[in-house]
Structure 1
Amino acid sequence: MSHRDRILGRLSSALRQSGADELHREHEDRRVVTERYQYSPAERVRRLTEMMQAVYTEVHATDEQQWPQQLLALMQQKQLGNLLVGTSTPHGQKLLDTWQSIEGAPQIDDAQRPIEQHKEALFHHTAAGLTGSRGGIAATGSIIVWPTPQEPRLTSLVPPVHFILLRASTIHNSFAEVMEQENWKGQLPTNALLISGPSKTADIQQTLAYGAHGPKELVVLLINDLEKF
């Protein structure tokens, strides 16, 4: 074998090893962010609940039939007179059907209207907003909100109180898991929100303040659609 062949052989071997090392690193990275976080369905619910409550999020257990009545009771308790919701969404329709026969129920405002038509009311007179959710992440105690034309991002961002519907069956172990299982790379929207608690900041004099950049209250209606909650 010539000197030239030996040099080229060493270079080829180094490139093959480099590729193997890269694949190994990718495997190890995947293991760290997925296999590290593995919970049973009940453990996912418990972990997410505990982590969100630790940052002053309210979490209320409910079911598919009772959540509109529970939302009504919470709004009356908090003295909230109106609610911004995407009325063409399934939960918006369910809310309209349930509340229309209840005397004194809060006013429902449609979040799908062009902002030019209700900007003043939205920013100055809206008491609360309701959104659905894409799911939850047990490892970080977060809820995924996926804005749509029927449920714009402002629904969760502007009102001082944000109610979120979360089904227990949609809580994943980790962020990496939810991205892979739901194929985020193939259907990512213009923005996806990961919400872990009420809006807060400590920028000014290191004093923690709520509601500076969004809702000051976050209330989760956790729908039990598992056999064991």
Structure 2
Amino acid sequence: MSSRARILQRLRDRTDGALVPPESDFSVMTGRGWGVQERLERFERLISSVHAEVIHTRQASWTETLAEVLTAKAVRRLALGHEHPVPAEARAALHEHEVDLVDANRDIEAWQREQFETVDAGLTSTGGAIAETGSLWLWPTPDEPRLTSLVPPLHIAVLDAETIEDTFFDVVEAHEWSQGMPTNALLISGPSKTADIEQTLAYGVHGPRELVVLIRHREEST
């Protein structure tokens, strides 16, 4: 019997009954009561404070805004998926644009060097955002693997304004994460950053040096 099996067996053979999780009070983690506009303003203020760039756009014309960003940032090679509506719409809109659309839904071993050395930016959808911390949350899939947002020097994330929620607890509850967690759920609060022993914060040391958040608004909310 392995060490793991022995430990689990000892837990099953407890003589004082089954383990019962204690009751927990989660009220401090939720119940902020912010409205849609306040959530949006808090999110933008906090994520902008850590060097992310926020650009507002309309749902119907967001790909035009994306094209402008790619031109302004001199992006020549953009990694993105195929199946999710965000990369699918981007591909349809950019097919005549002067940018090479790089397939992200490939085995990493097949294009690792390419991804680390020649891709200028990665485009991803988002599951939503958290107003309290100014964070995006992403649920990676084979179509939009996590390295698309973690490796290229520029990460462009597309966020729908109505998907911003108050707290991380509210996200977990609303989307029933307890019923099926992904292998990786990513929380992104700005471009990559690190601090040395003197607590001096540096940006862009590893991973994306820039984060651009395209916030899409429905026509009636703009």
Q: Does residue 30 in structure 1 map to residue 26 in structure 2?
A: yes
SS of 1:122's equivalent in the other structure is: helix
Q: Does residue 221 in structure 1 map to residue 217 in structure 2?
A: no
Q: Which residue of 2 aligns with 1:121?
A: 114
Q: Which residue of 2 aligns with 1:10?
A: none
Greater displacement, 158-167 / 59-68: 59-68
Once the 2 structures are TM-superposed, how far is the Cα of residue 118 of structure 1 from its aligned partner?
1.5
Q: Which residue of 1 aligns with 2:79?
A: 84
Once the 2 structures are TM-superposed, how far is the Cα of residue 150 of structure 1 from its aligned partner?
0.6
Distance in 1 of aligned mates of 2:48 and 2:132: 14
Once the 2 structures are TM-superposed, how far is the Cα of residue 120 of structure 1 from its aligned partner?
1.6
SS of 1:66's equivalent in the other structure is: helix
Give the count of matched residue pairs.
202
| TM-score, reference length from structure 2 | 0.85
Q: Which has the higher helix share?
A: 1
| TM-score, reference length from structure 1 | 0.83
Spell out, residue by residue over 1:141-188, the C-alpha distance to the aligned partner (whole angstroms, 9 max, x if none): 110011101110110000010000000111111111111111000021
Q: Which residue of 1 aligns with 2:99?
A: 106
Task: Give me the CA root mean square deviation.
Answer: 1.7
Contact 1:169 1:226 in 2 (8 A): no
Identical amino acids, percent of aligned pairs: 43
Once the 2 structures are TM-superposed, how far is the Cα of residue 33 of structure 1 from its aligned partner?
1.0
Map residues 1-229 of structure 1 onto 2, 5 A cutoff. 23=23, 26=24, 29-35=25-31, 37-102=32-97, 105-203=98-196, 206-225=199-218, 227-228=220-221
Once the 2 structures are TM-superposed, how far is the Cα of residue 91 of structure 1 from its aligned partner?
1.4
Larger radius of gyration: 1
Structure 1 gap ranges (5+): 1-18
Once the 2 structures are TM-superposed, how far is the Cα of residue 205 of structure 1 from its aligned partner?
5.2
